Structure 1
Amino acid sequence: MSDRPVTTDDAWVPDACTLPTAERPLRLAEWDRFFTDAVRGVGRLSARHLRFQLDGAARVDEVARDLTARESSCCSLFTFGLSRPGPESLALDVRVPAAHVDVLDALAERARSPRTRS
């Protein structure tokens, strides 16, 4: 993963998130690095379901599992699923309840943002 600086504006973080406020910029930076380094495509399968196409490297798999496990522990509105559709590909599915579609919208926008694609 890269050491590039990232923007850590957490205005979109849902109220349901129990991660201490002081730790949120660090977590957002981790997600931004993940988006920059690992995400090859973003697809919206439904209003409540987002799929990230990831680099298939073993290291990306490890980082995705670690990051989503830690995110699940503090932000229960997300449901994550990691799968390997092919030998060189990895997919991360993110689902949210209907009441939190706006959070999924913000996550998709953040993943597509130029700040994570530089």
Structure 2
Amino acid sequence: MSNTNWTWHDGTEASYSHWGTGEPNGHGGGEICAEMVTTGFWNDVNCEEPPRGYLCEVLLTRGINENGEKGGMSGAAIFGIVIATFIAVGIAVFLLHAALFRPKRMLAIKRKLGFAKASNNDERYYLNL
């Protein structure tokens, strides 16, 4: 394996790397595995050394810039946008329903039942309940 063309175990080429300065250097000719050091950068190591953990490929939900810093929106921001979208859609559906169906329903009720008209205050009270 060359120090400029790293691949995953299935042979696909790695599309992202975060090597430390001077890495990968292939020191001793046997460094074909990678580790992440405490600074967050990668270092190539000999695969025969005692395991220090694993470096795995994962699907990113946020972008990472060239300096290895996370970018994009946080999970909380995405959650907030999703909730706001659901609320907005709910309000739109309610208003659409009210605008399109309620007047037709009320008209049908009035045609079927006629208009109720109170002749005194007692009747007005009961009709307003």
Q: TM-score range by the shorter chain?
A: under 0.3
Greater RCO structure (CA 8 Å; 6+ sep): 1
TM (normalized to structure 1)?
0.18
| Larger helix proportion of the pair | 1
Q: Which has the larger radius of gyration?
A: 2
TM (normalized to structure 2)?
0.17
